[in-house]
Amino acid sequence: MAILIERRDPLTQAQGVEAGYAQSARRWPGQPLALRPHTPSELSGPEIRRCLPQVRGDLAGYGAKRALGQLIRLRVRVVDEDGAPLPGTVVEAWHCNAAGKYIHPNDTHDAPVDPNFYGAARLVAGDSGLAELRTIKPGAYPVPDTSGWWRPPHVHFSVWGRVWLSRLVTQMFFPGEPLNDSDVILNAIRDPEARGRCIARLVPSRTSELVYEYQLVVRGRRASPGMP
């Protein structure tokens, strides 16, 4: 299947250096990025399931081992630009605990660690491109060395599409969070509709979990005959 990758749209993708995020000015290249031809090397990719096995499908736990916080279920669907699902793709997810603390040696935030919460899962999408994660809602936390920037609750996602250039690493946000309006990372996406699509949708639930639906669209669509 021939896959076509189109240039990033500056309205729907962040552009590099972002005021209010000092590290971006130390790390994003100062020279313009080079445009290259797309050859089979970029338009092919790994069979990622072979490389990365599933690790934990549930971060919330049960009974005495249950993590603190609001139980949630994330229904994440991975599709390409044609809307075609990507069954078998790998979805990595990680987030902080309900108090805003990551299980990571580099997290210096003074918030409690939850002994029953680990915070990292790797899932393999099913037939309809769907991956489900049962977890707890992450908390907000302040970003060190900034003047009052708080990260809103968010979940990090890393997924693979059909080809090397389809790789997607992003963050998912929760609806109705006041901190969404001032988050430097979410608001680096200039187009309000594209930004809105980074916020999960709360759907009715009759279980003990709040259910959110979210769609991840990876780059790439099928090149059809007659298309330039």
Active site residues per annotation = 102, 141, 151, 154, 156
Site for another protein in 1-40 (CB under 8 A): 5, 7-9, 12-16, 18, 21, 23-31, 33-40
Helix (H) or strand (E) holding 125: none
Residue in 48, 140, 179, 210 binding another protein, rule: CB under 8 A: 48
Distance, in Å, from the CA atom of 135 to the CA atom of 145, rounded to the nearest integer, reads 30
Residue type, 212: Y
Which positions from 102 to 141 touch another protein by CB under 8 A, shown as an x/- string?
Answer: xxxxxx-----------xx-x-------------------
Of positions 87, 194, 203, 205, contacts another protein by CB under 8 A:
194
The pair of three-digit structure tokens given for residue 23, joined into one six-digit string: 């590290």
Does 174 engage in binding with another protein (CB under 8 A)? Answer: no
Closest separation in Å from C-beta 207 to another protein:
27
Sign of CA dihedral 187, 68, 60, 204: negative
215 touches 84 (CB < 8 A): no
Place of tokens 């805003």: 100
CB 78, min distance to another protein, A: 10
Nearest distance in Å: CB 189, another protein? 4
Residue type, position 2, single letter: A
Minimum CB distance to another protein smaller for 66 or for 190: 190
Question: What count of residues does the chain have?
Answer: 228
**Which has the closest alpha carbon to 67: 88, 97, 45?**
97
